[in-house]
């Protein structure tokens, strides 16, 4: 019989959970290398606090203006703002992962009721909830200053609105926790997040192009929004201001009904968790299937010109590239950026400028920008290898071969991406003159081989483990980022004046000739760097394995 004197009450358990979250945060910051996290958190905290306080004023003045200006119903817009932020912000940050899995509390002797209450209280500790409560308070004050008679209604509606939002947010959150427990789901979520981030770039051009034609459609949709909680809250407050208490009652009843509905969903979700739920990552046992005889080995080897070790690393890198949602989306970015920037800055009718930028400048600039994006991962090229890095050290290979395999894949990916972008570019606005085209190509070779040499050194010297399909804590080493920027600034600083040389000298072919020479020198430098890098890898193996096997 366990020697338990008494079970702690719900409030004591809430206090314990809050203390646990605080302790986890503190301990994370105490870890080695996490001083930057602390500094980053302080900056982010100050920045977020300023935004929240700034928006508090906006909500205050909004509520005041609507109620004192006879536009009481418009207060619904403020509730909509809070509602969308409260529900969407946690979803967009969910991929960063929770530092603490709420369901792990189930190992302790909690009743379902206590689990539910702690779950709701847990939702109040989120940034979105805290910020929203500040804004709701600002609305209450603004509305009361404008019309003191609405205070009771404001308090009632705000309390119901708050409870409804917490319940909905926890319902969505607990479903997300269930869904994101699977690796594939996390990776898909991550991919969707990046897709969303890329799509945001198109909002401005789309609004410019279709904004006017979409207005009637938007007007048709607006009335249907009246049945949702923020509109009901607005209706209730407007009713109180206009002494139409039936509207206040209906609004309050509507929000209560939503709260009840979400509470039932949340209770059912928590009850499933409480009973025990299988969230294992491991594949379920499968029936053995007869495997057809593999023909792969009989086919000709496409990489037969390479040594087996280099070919093996190249194949492995290709598989990792295709299975990494972040790297995959990095591949679709260059053509999208070409499309985006050329329509805005080049061609006959650029959307962002009166006069288009000349192709002679825009093309090399665009290629340099793409290199900036595509070369960044090379500065921490072992990031996704994790514990597998040990295989490179236990196998009878030199790191010369490992780097060759990794760099070949990087080079192949660059060739593919730049070719695709050039095709898109030439289709949209046409290619520049032949001397500029050749000078750009030679500059790319110079730049890429130069960067690869330094990036290989950076990968050995400043390794940082990154996980597939995860955003939380996925930060490159600060030094690797500095080296990357420094190298790109240096090479850009060398390249830019050379590209302008033709203008100063009047010799159109001079930049191409200079870059061809520099490219040959960079290739020779890269080739002669591989053996010293292999020696450096042996020296750095402990720190490399330690950093990547954590």
- Of 183, 209, 472, 475, the one binding other proteins (CB under 8 A) is 183
Q: In angstroms, give the least distance from the CB of 491 to other proteins.
A: 31
Q: In angstroms, give the least distance from the CB of 24 to other proteins.
A: 24
- Of 4, 286, 302, 305, the one binding other proteins (CB under 8 A) is 286
Closest CA to 165 of 213, 105, 229, 239: 229
Does 85 help bind other proteins (rule: CB under 8 A)?
no
- Of 213, 220, 275, 281, the one binding other proteins (CB under 8 A) is 281
- Of 33, 71, 319, 475, the one binding other proteins (CB under 8 A) is 319
Does 433 help bind other proteins (rule: CB under 8 A)?
no
d(Cα 457, Cα 455) in Å, to the nearest integer?
5
Does 312 help bind other proteins (rule: CB under 8 A)?
yes
Of 221 and 283, the one with the shorter C-beta distance to other proteins is 283
Of 247 and 385, the one with the shorter C-beta distance to other proteins is 385
| Positions in 42-81 near other proteins (CB under 8 A) | none
Q: Give the binding range for other proteins (CB under 8 A) out of 170-178, 320-328, 430-438, 511-519.
A: 320-328
Q: In angstroms, give the least distance from the CB of 474 to other proteins.
A: 15
Q: Residues near 110 by Cβ (< 8 Å), separated by ≥ 6?
A: 13, 118
Of 68 and 467, the one with the shorter C-beta distance to other proteins is 467
Does 294 help bind other proteins (rule: CB under 8 A)?
yes
- Of 84, 301, 352, 490, the one binding other proteins (CB under 8 A) is 301
d(Cα 438, Cα 363) in Å, to the nearest integer?
11
Half-sphere CA count of 484, side-chain side, radius 13 A:
19
Does 389 help bind other proteins (rule: CB under 8 A)?
yes
Does 219 help bind other proteins (rule: CB under 8 A)?
no
Q: Does residue 18 sit in helix, strand or coil?
A: helix
Does 305 help bind other proteins (rule: CB under 8 A)?
no
Of 221 and 297, the one with the shorter C-beta distance to other proteins is 297
- Of 26, 216, 219, 298, the one binding other proteins (CB under 8 A) is 298
State the DSSP code for 284. Answer: P
Does 330 help bind other proteins (rule: CB under 8 A)?
no
Q: Give the binding range for other proteins (CB under 8 A) out of 23-31, 102-110, 294-302, 436-444.
A: 294-302
Does 508 help bind other proteins (rule: CB under 8 A)?
no
State the DSSP code for 283. Answer: P
For residue 332, count CB atoms less than 10 angstroms from its CB and return exposed for 0-12, middle for 13-18, buried for 19 or more. middle
Q: In angstroms, give the least distance from the CB of 409 to other proteins.
A: 14
For residue 242, count CB atoms less than 10 angstroms from its CB and return exposed for 0-12, middle for 13-18, buried for 19 or more. middle
Of 45 and 388, the one with the shorter C-beta distance to other proteins is 388
- Of 15, 31, 387, 472, the one binding other proteins (CB under 8 A) is 387
- DSSP string for 400-439: HHHHHHHHHHHHHHHHHHHHHHHHHHHHHT----HHHHHH
- Of 34, 390, 461, 476, the one binding other proteins (CB under 8 A) is 390
Q: Within 10 Å of residue 365's Cβ, how many Cβ atoms?
A: 17
Of 1 and 200, the one with the shorter C-beta distance to other proteins is 1
Closest CA to 183 of 550, 472, 519, 469: 469
- Of 111, 351, 531, 549, the one binding other proteins (CB under 8 A) is 549
Q: What is the CA radius of gyration of the chain?
A: 29
Helix axes 75-94, 183-200, angle to 10 degrees: 130
> Total residues contacting other proteins (rule CB under 8 A)?
46
Q: Is-contact 268 242, C-beta < 8 A?
A: no
Q: Does residue 476 sit in helix, strand or coil?
A: coil
Q: In angstroms, give the least distance from the CB of 451 to other proteins.
A: 25
Dihedrals phi, psi of 128, to nearest 5 degrees:
-60, -40
- Of 148, 276, 396, 506, the one binding other proteins (CB under 8 A) is 396
Closest CA to 533 of 476, 480, 458: 458
Which CA distances in Å does 289 have to 30, 286, 292, 355?
A: 50, 9, 9, 64
Closest CA to 326 of 475, 201, 202: 475
Size of the chain, expressed as the number of residues it contains:
550
Q: In angstroms, give the least distance from the CB of 289 to other proteins.
A: 6
- Of 384, 403, 457, 462, the one binding other proteins (CB under 8 A) is 384
Tokens matching residue 396: 């009878």
Q: In angstroms, give the least distance from the CB of 387 to other proteins.
A: 5
Q: Which residues bind other proteins (CB under 8 A)?
A: 3, 183, 281-283, 286-289, 291, 294, 296-298, 301, 308-309, 311-313, 315-316, 319-320, 323-324, 384-391, 393-398, 468, 538, 541-542, 545, 549
């Amino acid at each position: 019989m366990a020697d338990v004197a008494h079970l702690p009450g719900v409030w004591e358990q809430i206090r314990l959970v809050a203390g646990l979250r605080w302790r986890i945060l503190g301990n994370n910051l105490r870890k080695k290398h996490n001083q930057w996290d602390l500094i980053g958190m302080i900056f982010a905290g100050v920045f977020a606090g300023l935004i929240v306080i700034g928006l508090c004023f906006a909500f205050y003045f909004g509520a005041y203006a609507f109620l004192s200006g006879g536009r009481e119903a418009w207060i619904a817009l403020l509730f909509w703002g809070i509602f969308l932020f409260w529900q969407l912000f946690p979803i967009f940050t969910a991929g960063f992962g929770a530092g603490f899995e709420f369901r792990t509390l189930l190992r302790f002797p909690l009743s379902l009721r206590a689990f539910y209450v702690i779950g709701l209280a847990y939702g109040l500790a989120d940034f979105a909830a805290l910020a929203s409560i500040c804004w709701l308070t600002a609305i209450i004050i603004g509305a009361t200053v404008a019309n003191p008679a609405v205070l009771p209604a404001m308090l009632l509606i705000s309390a119901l609105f708050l409870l409804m939002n917490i319940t909905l947010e926890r319902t969505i959150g607990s479903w997300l926790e269930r869904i994101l427990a699977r690796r594939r789901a996390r990776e898909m979520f991550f991919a969707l997040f990046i897709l969303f981030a890329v799509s945001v770039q198109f909002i401005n051009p789309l609004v410019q192009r279709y904004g006017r034609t979409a207005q009637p459609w938007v007007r048709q949709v607006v009335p249907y929004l009246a049945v949702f909680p923020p509109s009901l809250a607005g209706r209730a407050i407007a009713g109180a201001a206009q002494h139409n208490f039936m509207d206040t009652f209906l609004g309050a009843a509507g929000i209560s009904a939503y709260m009840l509905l979400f509470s039932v969903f949340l209770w059912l979700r928590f009850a499933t968790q409480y009973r025990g739920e299988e969230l294992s990552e491991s594949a379920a046992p499968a029936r053995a299937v007869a495997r057809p005889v593999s023909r792969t080995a009989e086919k000709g080897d496409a990489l037969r010109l390479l040594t087996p070790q280099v070919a093996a690393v190249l194949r492995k890198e290709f598989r990792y590239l295709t299975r990494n949602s972040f790297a995959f989306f990095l591949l679709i970015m260059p053509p999208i950026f070409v499309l985006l920037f050329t329509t805005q800055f080049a061609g006959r009718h650029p959307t962002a400028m009166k006069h288009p930028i000349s192709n002679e400048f825009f093309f090399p600039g665009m290629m340099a920008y793409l290199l900036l994006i595509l070369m960044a991962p090379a500065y921490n090229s072992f990031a996704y290898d994790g514990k597998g890095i040990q295989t490179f050290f236990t196998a009878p290979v030199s790191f010369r071969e490992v780097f060759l395999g990794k760099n070949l894949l990087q080079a192949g990916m660059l060739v593919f991406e730049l070719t695709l972008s050039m095709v898109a570019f030439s289709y949209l606005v046409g290619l520049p003159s032949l001397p500029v085209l050749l000078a750009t190509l030679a500059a790319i070779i110079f730049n890429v081989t130069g960067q690869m040499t330094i990036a290989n050194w950076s990968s050995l010297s400043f390794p940082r483990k990154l996980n597939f399909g995860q955003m939380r804590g996925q930060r490159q080493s600060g030094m690797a980022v500095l080296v990357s920027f420094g190298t790109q600034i240096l090479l850009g600083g060398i390249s830019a004046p050379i590209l302008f040389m033709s203008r100063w000298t009047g010799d159109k072919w001079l930049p191409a000739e200079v870059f061809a020479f520099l490219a040959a020198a960079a290739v020779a430098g890269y080739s002669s760097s591989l053996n010293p890098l292999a020696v450096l890898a042996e020296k750095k193996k402990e720190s490399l394995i330690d950093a990547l096997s954590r």
